[in-house]
Structure 1
């Protein structure tokens, strides 16, 4: 098991211990290697939530 898999597994165990039903994160649309990694862990895009932002110009 690689470092990434180990970190996600620790996160999953912690989430279970606090009664969480899901773990959510963001990934750049163009980051295909990250998406492939998350899919290898049975991750999938969220079909309910979408990220939003409000840019603030200085």
Structure 2
């Protein structure tokens, strides 16, 4: 039962991090500037980290 709950918590956490990263990319895309570029890069790194973690399970 504990393992089952851990998978649910992990999935919800990943969805939350994904949504935050998407929001960072969208907010950073709206205007031009170094600050907004850094927001986009942080969002992109977050999305790539989630993708890496997902693919690592199936390697």
Instruction: Establish whether TM, by shorter chain, passes 0.5.
Output: no
TM-score range, shorter chain: 0.3 to 0.5
Q: TM-score, normalised by structure 2?
A: 0.35
Higher relative contact order (CA closer than 8 Å, sequence separation 6+): 2
